[in-house]
Structure 1
Amino acid sequence: MNVRFLSRVALAAIGLFAAAGCFAQGNPKTTMGVSIPSATHGWAGGVVYWANRTKAELEKQYPEMKVIVKTAGSASEQANQVQDLQTVNKIDTLVILPFESAPLTQPVAQVKGKGVFVTVVDRGLTDTSAQNAYVAGDNPGFGKVAGEYVAKALGGKGNVVILRGIPTVIDNQRVDAFNAVMKANPGIKVLDAKHGNWNRDDAFKVMQDYLTRFKQIDAVWASDDDMAVGVQKAIEQAKRTDIKLVLGGAGSKDYVKKVLDGDKVVTADVTYSPSMIADAMKLTADARVKGTAMPATTIIPSVLITKENAAKYHFPDSPF
């Protein structure tokens, strides 16, 4: 999805949500720390790309602002980085996409308690009092849109397996919404749901297990395009022909291209762009520099991608 479109959505949300963190005066000398996972998979690679691109844009737009981007390969590493950003780099603003929800909640709360303005992106914390603002895709919508498409594609009957992401609040929201749709379709049986951690190799192993245990699988909700790659590799190696649908998510250029080309198994995708980190950084910077209000919550809608609209969501030059 085009970042300019996301930015318009995010900015429009200012008038729709309650304000959080309104300042008496702006601070053009803001020091913003941006803490994100390293490029452990394609979507995260997109986040890193957009974060560094937006750092350059913001420092050009606001010459007195300093933006420090840090990437972490684990929750513990990120927790240490957050502490260093506050103690060493003296940040007054933090934009963070947590590696995992629970392990980062207390470290972020401690930083906020020292006066740092905190915007949490995507993977929500387990205690919302640890943040000033939250920017994310529509995770319940992501699961609901996917569930409705799977149910329709199967005609309300069949066996489905699920690959979950990393244990986070957003993963719970997605899976709960998907399962709610499945429960409304009693002819569909969810055989199992295991964590593939939004990782191709992990998803490959999970799918191998599913293929060994279940002789009839009609559809796979991979819930992420990177995991869909691992899923399809496992299916190919097992030479299984019973699987009619593999549905990923996040709108990677490769999977949108499959939809666009009329792939027989990958017939749809669901948007969840990594450029949301750019929206979060821009909204936060604008509020901090100008001393204006920022919405407590900004939600970017999830959209079903089909062959009819795929061209609008296909960006060949994107890193993801």
Structure 2
Amino acid sequence: MKKHVRLGAAIMLSTMMLVAAACGNNANEGSKGSKPASADKKITLGFAQVGAESGWRTANTNSVKESAAEAGFELKFSDAQQKQENQIKSIRSYIQQKVDVIAFSPVVESGWDTVLKEAKEAGIPVILTDRAVDSKDDSLYETFIGSDFVEEGRSAGKWLLEKYKDASGDVNIVELQGTTGSAPAIDRKAGFEEIIKDDAKLKVIASQTGDFTRAKGKEVMQSFLKANKDIDVLYAHNDDMALGAIQAIEAAGLKPGEDIIIISVDGVKDGFVAASEGKINFIVECNPLLGPQLMQAVRDVLDGKEIEKRIVTEEGVFTSEDAKRELPNRKY
């Protein structure tokens, strides 16, 4: 009987030593750094883009595509052609395909809760880029990567306030807004108005959407010029609309940048060319190269890391003289 007890004890001791050795090996591996979840398989990212309405958007799309390729991600890309229903359809398609992460730049702010809840129920994290959504439930997305559009509007207003601080008469301003209901259109208008409202001589006499496109910017500026004899300033929510407006101003026999002061937002290369020629007086930068930040956010989310709910991109402001110096360095 004692023999059997000793044998059982020996077997038990050997088993415990093997388990301890195995645990010790795992502990050593862990001390070298555990393998992140995002490294286990190829990541599939579904990206629903607004469209291709401007030079800024083209640069943004290229940044996402190039960064995804560099990161080794499989990218499923769709162009919504500036229609919300197209983006919702794409997001639902990504849910059905069981992608790892969904990212998109919302055409407009509202109307997203239903499809975002569908993504959440499917266990697919969502990242917003460039534009935000108007939702009371911020658990429907992981983070929003992009510019501070309100601050962009403020920057435009501050420059204008300084330029006309000594003016004695009224300063008549026309405004080319972005796509109606979009975050940049709403916020750039709000930030601009916040700054100029306390100076009674700065008057916005006309404001209309130009849909962020060059053609629409030209068309709306033509109507502004016909309806208003004295326009001192144009505030355009993006460079493409400003460039279209410049065509209309020149066709009317006026000099852009002189007869009508022009403020624009974006900082694409064509805008910098116009600014270096003195046709745009002030540009507020909105950086489209969000690809690297997006790919890092995708990895962090899949690895279970905590990320900021709001990631703001770094940007600058440029006068005509600044644009001349900076033009050779523009990447978009």
TM range (shorter): 0.7 to 0.9
Q: Tell me the secondary structure at the aligned position of residue 286 of structure 1.
A: helix
- 1:148-163 mapped onto 2 (5 Å cutoff): 148-155=158-165, 157-163=170-176
Cα distance in 2 between the residues matched to 1:250 and 1:315? 17
Residue in 1 aligned with 2:298?
285
Shift of 1:218: 0.4
CA contact (8 A) 2:38 2:299 kept: no
Cα distance in 1 between the residues matched to 2:110 and 2:155? 27
- 1:98-109 mapped onto 2 (5 Å cutoff): 98-109=106-117
Cα distance in 2 between the residues matched to 1:289 and 1:313? 38
CA contact (8 A) 1:253 1:314 kept: yes
Residue in 2 aligned with 1:201?
215
Residue in 2 aligned with 1:142?
152
Shift of 1:317: 7.0
TM-score by length of 2: 0.79
CA contact (8 A) 1:164 1:193 kept: yes
- 1:18-167 mapped onto 2 (5 Å cutoff): 26-28=37-39, 29=41, 30-59=43-72, 65-73=73-81, 74-87=83-96, 89-127=97-135, 128-129=137-138, 130-155=140-165, 157-166=170-179, 167=181
Shift of 1:308: 5.0
User: Relative contact order, CA 8 A, sep 6+: which one is greater?
Assistant: 1
CA contact (8 A) 1:83 1:107 kept: yes
Shift of 1:266: 1.4
Cα distance in 2 between the residues matched to 1:139 and 1:26? 34
Shift of 1:180: 1.1
Cα distance in 2 between the residues matched to 1:294 and 1:152? 38
Shift of 1:285: 2.5
CA contact (8 A) 1:224 1:250 kept: yes
Asked whether 1:184 is paired with 2:184, we answer no
Asked whether 1:173 is paired with 2:182, we answer no
Cα distance in 1 between the residues matched to 2:147 and 2:224? 29
Residue in 2 aligned with 1:62?
none
Structure 2 unpaired stretches of 5+ = 1-35
Q: Which runs of 4+ in 1 moved over 6 A?
A: none
Q: Tell me the secondary structure at the aligned position of residue 49 of structure 1.
A: helix
Cα distance in 2 between the residues matched to 1:313 and 1:35? 32
Larger radius of gyration: 2
Q: 1:240 aligns with which of 254, 258, 267?
A: 254
Instruction: State the identity as a percent.
Output: 21
Residue in 2 aligned with 1:224?
238
Cα distance in 2 between the residues matched to 1:31 and 1:160? 47
CA contact (8 A) 1:253 1:316 kept: no
Residue in 1 aligned with 2:14?
none
What amino acid is aligned across from residue 165 of structure 1 in structure 2? Answer: G
Cα distance in 1 between the residues matched to 2:324 and 2:254? 30
Shift of 1:316: 6.2
Cα distance in 2 between the residues matched to 1:50 and 1:257? 21
Q: Tell me the secondary structure at the aligned position of residue 280 of structure 2.
A: coil
Shift of 1:292: 1.8
Shift of 1:313: 4.6
CA contact (8 A) 1:36 1:70 kept: yes
CA gap 1:225/1:31 in 2 versus in 1, 3 angstroms: same
Count of aligned pairs: 287
What amino acid is aligned across from residue 53 of structure 1 in structure 2? Answer: E
State the Cα deviation string for residues 125-178 of structure 1 (Å, max 9, x = none).
111523121111111110000111122223355110111101212321110110
